[in-house]
Amino acid sequence: MKNISAILIVTLLLTACNGEKKSKSLEDLIASNNLEALKQKREEIDAKQQEYAAQLSLINNRISELDTVKRLSLVTTVMAKSEKFDHFLELQGNVKTKQNLVIYPEMAGTLTRVYVKEGQNVTKGQLLATIDDGGLSQQVAQLQIQADLAKTTFERQERLWNQKIGSEIQYLQAKSSYEAQQRAVSQLKSQLAKTSVRAPFTGVIDDVITDQGSVVAPGQSQLMRIVNLEDMYIETDVPENYISSITANKAVKVEFPILGKSIDAKIRQAGNFINPANRTFKIEVAVPNKDKSIKPNLTAKLKINDYSNENAILIPQSIISENADGEQYIYIIENKNADNEGNAKRIIIETGKAQDDVIEVTKGLENNAEIIQEGARSVNDGQTVKVINGL
């Protein structure tokens, strides 16, 4: 044992000495600045490098031949299956109502009384405010007295005329006077009615704009805003290429991101006019609003089913590649053995509509084909691969 230890110590000392000598000799050679000697030394080192590289290549090739499992690319696969596919066109629109109105006065004068307040529910025809009539009601009363007298005169003259008493001209004059008085009263009452501001439809008083006591003018002074939150709809523009698939009565999924709610609705109207500026047509989607949580101008997202296929083959969009000719291709597995090893085969496909992260394959892929998913970008046509998902 002592002899062995002594031999090891001597060997280590000699190796260390040789390393030191080589290091010193290389340093001495560099320090000598001998160009020819330096070039000769470089050629010796290059020759050794080439020799080692050739030996390493032979070793790697032999390892690859013997260790077949390690050289196989590992992939996962999915099976191509027919399933129902619904494609949805996604749009954005704003909530509107056709009954959103600012009320203006029809007669000038002082706003003598406002009967409603903001947020109050009102019905159609309900009195909202009154404007000073400027003595118009007294004129109506006076005209009414004259009209009543004209009526009495006409009725008496009519009885006499029916009894063949009196002249025809007297009868016609009484009738004309009575009718003229009636029209005058009716016209003045119509003017007087304009001093009463009434609700044009059932809704909610959203804002009282003009205060009581203010002087108002027709078509200029905004009195109040009334809104009906029951008859709501969403209006949006649809690209013209969907004009045959986006039609009236089509089901729509409506989402309100701000409210965190979604509802099912239908298209109640699809426009027949294509806007030449942006090549779109308008649609209206009726929105039920029983709880009145949906307000005008609220942003909404629409999802409209514009295409369906009961037997579509869907694949992940991420596994599709494209060649120099612009053709789309994927890889499938062929000749898979009991060890889940098979050959990758590249196939050209044609695709249709996409939804989220999947796309419909319309041509080139058969049902029940085994498609390479993970690892699809790193395999080549004909390459042997190993499937690791147990399919």
Output the average pLDDT for the chain: 85
DSSP sequence for 1-52: -HHHHHHHHHHHHHHHHHHHHHHHHHHHHHHHT-HHHHHHHHHHHHHHHHHH
| For the chain, percent of residues with pLDDT exceeding 90 | 32
Contact indicator for 217, 105 with CB cutoff of 8 Å = yes
Phi, psi of 60 (to 5 degrees): -65, -40
- pLDDT in the model for residue 10: 41
Residues with Cβ within 8 Å of residue 134, at least 6 apart in sequence: 109
CB burial of 253-277 (b: ≥16 within 10 Å; e: otherwise) equals ebbbeeeeeebebebbebeeeeeee
- pLDDT per position as a tens digit, 319-356: 999 988 899 999 999 988 888 888 999 999 999 988 88
pLDDT score of 4:
41
Distance CA 205, CA 235 (A): 24
Tens of pLDDT, residues 59-82: 877 776 666 555 678 889 988 888
Length of the chain: 391
pLDDT at residue 296 tops 80: yes
Which value, in Å, is the radius of gyration of the alpha carbons in the chain? 47
CA gap 63, 45 in Å, rounded: 27
- Cα(360)–Cα(87) distance, integer angstroms: 10
The vertex-215 CA angle with 198 and 210, nearest 5°, equals 55
Q: Cα 232 to chain center, whole Å?
A: 19
pLDDT of 197: 92
For the entire predicted model, the pTM comes to 0.55
pLDDT at 5 over 70: no
- Hey, is 262 helix, strand or coil? strand
Answer yes or no: are the C-beta atoms of 383 and 344 closer than 8 Å: yes
Better pLDDT: 37 or 256 = 256
Q: What is the pLDDT of residues 139-185, one digit of tens each?
A: 888 888 888 888 888 888 888 878 878 788 888 888 888 888 888 88
Task: Give 213's DSSP letter.
Answer: T
Mean pLDDT, residues 117-143 taken together: 88
In this predicted model, what pLDDT tens digit does every residue of 370-390 receive, in sequence order? 999 998 888 889 888 888 875
